[in-house]
Amino acid sequence: MNTPLKGAAIIGQSGGPSAVINASAYGVIKTALENENITKVYGANHGIKGVLNDRLLIMDEEDPKELERLLYTPSSALGSCRYKIADPDVDDTDYKRILEIFKKYDVRYFFYNGGNDSMDTCAKVSRYMAKVGYDCMVMGVPKTIDNDLFGTDHCPGFSSAAKYIATSIMEVCRDAQVYDTGMITVIECMGRHAGWLTAAAQLANAMGEGPDFIYLPEVDFDMDKFVAEVSQRYKENGNCIVAVSEGIHYADGSFVSEAKTAATDGFGHAQLGGLAAMLANVMKEKTGAKVRGIELSLLQRCAAHCASGNDIQESFMSGKVAVESAVSGITGKMVGFECEREGGYVCKPKLFDLDEVANFEKKFPREWINKEGNGVLQPFVDYALPLIQGETPMVKENGLPRFCKLKKVFAE
* Whole-angstrom distance, CA of residue 115 vs CA of residue 191: 13
- Nearest distance, CB of residue 264 and a copy of itself, angstroms: 7
Q: Give me the least distance between CB of 303 and a copy of itself, in Å please.
A: 6
Least Å from the CB of residue 282 to a copy of itself: 10
Q: Is 285 in the site for a copy of itself (CB under 8 A)?
A: no
How far the first Cα of the chain sits from its last, in Å, is 34
Q: At closest approach, how far in Å is the CB of 332 from a copy of itself?
A: 27
CB of 241 to a copy of itself, least distance (A): 11
Residues 46-65: x/- map of binding to a copy of itself (CB under 8 A)? x--x----------------
Question: Could you say which of 24, 31, 76, 116 contacts a copy of itself (CB under 8 A)?
Answer: 76
Question: Is 146 in the active site?
Answer: yes
CB atoms within 10 A of CB 36: 8
E-state strands within 239-374: 240-245, 291-295, 333-340, 346-353
For a copy of itself, give the closer residue by CB, 75 or 331. 75
User: Catalytic pick from 94, 120, 146, 148?
Assistant: 146
d(CA 177, CA 241): 9
**Site for a copy of itself (CB under 8 A): which residue of 292, 320, 333, 362?**
292
Q: What are phi and psi of 22, to 5 degrees?
A: -75, -20
Residue with Cβ nearer a copy of itself (126 or 160): 160
Does residue 302 belong to the site contacting a copy of itself (CB under 8 A)?
A: yes
With binding defined as CB under 8 A, does residue 278 bind a copy of itself?
yes
Are 369 and 377 within 8 A, CB to CB?
yes
Burial of residue 91 (number of CB atoms within 10 Å: 0-12, 13-18, 19+): exposed
* 89 vs 258 by CB, closer to a copy of itself: 258
d(CA 318, CA 113): 10
Rounded Cα distance between 176 and 73, Å, is 31
Q: Which of 66, 87, 135, 171 binds a copy of itself (CB under 8 A)?
A: 171
- DSSP-derived secondary structure letter, 103: H
Nearest to 197 by CA among 223, 183, 178, 218: 218
Binding mask 228-267 for a copy of itself (x = CB under 8 A): ------------------------------------xx-x
Catalytic residues: 146
